Amino acid sequence: RRARAGAQTSLHVPYGDGEGEKLDIYFPTEPSGTFPVLVYIHGGYWQCLSKDESGFAAPPLVSQGVAVVAVGYDTAPKGHMDAMVLQVRRSLAFLVQRYSGIRGVYLCGHSAGAHLAAMVLSTDWTEYGVAPDIKGAVLVSGVYNLEPILHTYVNNALNMSREVAQRNSPILCVTSAAPAAAACEVLVAVAQHDSPEFRRQSQEYGQALRAAGWSVSLLDLAGVDHFDIIEKLSEESYVLTQV
């Protein structure tokens, strides 16, 4: 509510025909002709949360001339993994086609949202007829290999097969950095108090990107856990906000 009260917004902007295919856009306080945009993809193990709770990061950014876009997608059990990945990719294509003033796209995702943002990095944009200028990605406490969750309760709602998990695992989809991608800086952030599996996957995915020629840095944040590592984006002085 604070974010919406303090910014010019366009809420529930449809990027497709599906019920969940909508964006919330928080425009910069003093928009010039062009502006960078931070695209935020929420977590919730692909089955809870929504774009409606995702505006918390907007206030410190819109005050600095950055637009913030919260992406909605169909969570499980209605949405399945292939569809969610496709929706997030389509939302980005829509965004850059609709708003010509965007100068540079920065992805930010948390947990399951970091997984979806990482899948965006492996997109073949020729299929979408656009070439988004993705300048950076901040991947926070993400899941980059879906196979370990196949036999956990998380997969009860997702109902993924091994094939679905493999083709939607960012660590198995790393593409060699094309010239455009080489200009994209990727920050893989993990919390001190994240579980060992989140920490391991973050390190391995960062290494895989670096080996493929991407510009990657790993940030291990002390004193935070899986949740407040992202919630603190509402604070202007927080290290991730500053980055």
Helix extents (H) in 18-57: none
Q: Which of 42, 115, 141, 194 is catalytic?
A: 194
d(CA 143, CA 45): 9
Nearest to 29 by CA among 71, 67, 69: 67
Q: Contact 88/122 with Cβ under 8 angstroms? A: no
DSSP one-letter code for 99: -
Both tokens of residue 18? 């599906």
Q: Is 115 labeled as catalytic in the residue annotation?
A: no
Q: Is 226 labeled as catalytic in the residue annotation?
A: yes
Measured over the CA atoms of residue 115, residue 180, residue 29 and residue 12, the dihedral's sign is: negative
Q: Contact 75/83 with Cβ under 8 angstroms? A: no
E-strand spans in 15-87? 22-27, 35-41, 67-71
Nearest to 230 by CA among 87, 38, 25: 38
Q: Which of 80, 226, 228, 234 is catalytic?
A: 226
In terms of DSSP bridges, do strands 67-71 and 35-41 run parallel, antiparallel, or are they unpaired? parallel
d(CA 66, CA 76): 31
Q: Which of 111, 141, 169, 202 is catalytic?
A: 111
Nearest to 138 by CA among 216, 82, 64: 216
Q: Is 111 labeled as catalytic in the residue annotation?
A: yes
124's CB contacts (< 8 A; 6+ apart) are none
Residues catalogued as catalytic = 111, 194, 226
